[in-house]
Structure 1
Amino acid sequence: MNLPSLQAETYTSASEIIHSAKAIRERLLRPANAYRPPVTFPEPPKPQIKRKPRKEVQHDAHVIDWQAKKEAYDAIEVEARKISCRDYIKQRCDELGVSYAEVTGPSRVRHIVDARQLLMFEIKTQVKPSISFQELGKLFGGRDHTTCLHACMKHGYEGTGGNKSERDDIQKIKALHASGLSQAEIAEQVGCSPSTVRRYTQESRQSAYEAKLAKKRLAARKHYEQARKKARAAG
């Protein structure tokens, strides 16, 4: 039997023997769960998903009006960040000839009230349209939100949601429906979707049905009361 030839290692000092024995011991006694560098694999190519082109959404007239107003108010918000509401009020008070303490105080003098209402309207429409009426009232001495709403509406404030145009569209839809036009014809004239026309016409039908039902109930109640009176008189 041929055995492999072994060569004995030679050491020149005791420290070399200690280091060699330590390395052999660490190699032989290393635990099975010792750290090993992770094996990296190349990432697979990402699948290319073909997306369908989005269809253009046709909004109703009141939605288009609301979007235009929102874009205008967003542009105002960007400019309004350069100055705070309180600084704007103080600056405008100097221009209007009133003091900041008078505008934010309890005074009800006519020219001070007019200046206060004008500043409320300007803050809501020009400086910070996103401010609520509660926050607007706090800027002017903790006034009620209905006071701020009245002041803004006095100068022509109609809100940011296009409510006026929406009410006009609803009235027009109901008038055309009463004239006998179909839902498709009404949608084409008003500039909205047929589903919008269907929703408002169904509401009008439902309200008419409820009124008719209430009238029948009232007639039945009157008939019952008359029969009861006759029975009492006969008894």
Structure 2
Amino acid sequence: MTLQFSKSTPFQAELQKAHKLRQTKYASAARARAEKARLIEIKGRPPLWKTSSIRFDAHVQAYQFHLANRLVRPEVTYIKRRCAELGIQYRDVVGPSIFKRVALSRRLLMWEVRQKFNLTYADIGRAFGGRDQSSAVSAIRSFDSGSPLH
């Protein structure tokens, strides 16, 4: 048994031709969209130098330190510089650490800040990690009395 197709009319031939054109058009658009998605995926990843830690030279670290501190109050910049000179971490001085070396350095720095900047005791306490004025008063008085070991 053989199938016999009737001859298509000119209108049906036009429809088939239009259908084939749409199929090729949509297929090329789908290929282009897939290619664009692949390119976006590659571009979306940050470069390796942004995601991994990089060891900079000393002058670059000094410049980064300068940039980080240019909008900071001058007493905080002074405290950070003195911490580096004393060999103590800034976060330890402004933090809750009660180690003797850190506590003595904190008292010394509070006294130096009071002498250099003539700030109120409350401002000094704020500069040292949000301490209250009584902490600044006792630290400064211990140096004024000549015995910082209290």
Scaled by the length of structure 1, what TM-score is found? 0.30
Flag the structure with higher helix content. 2
User: Which structure has the larger Rg?
Assistant: 1
Task: Say which structure, 1 or 2, has more relative contact order (CA 8 Å, 6+ apart).
Answer: 1
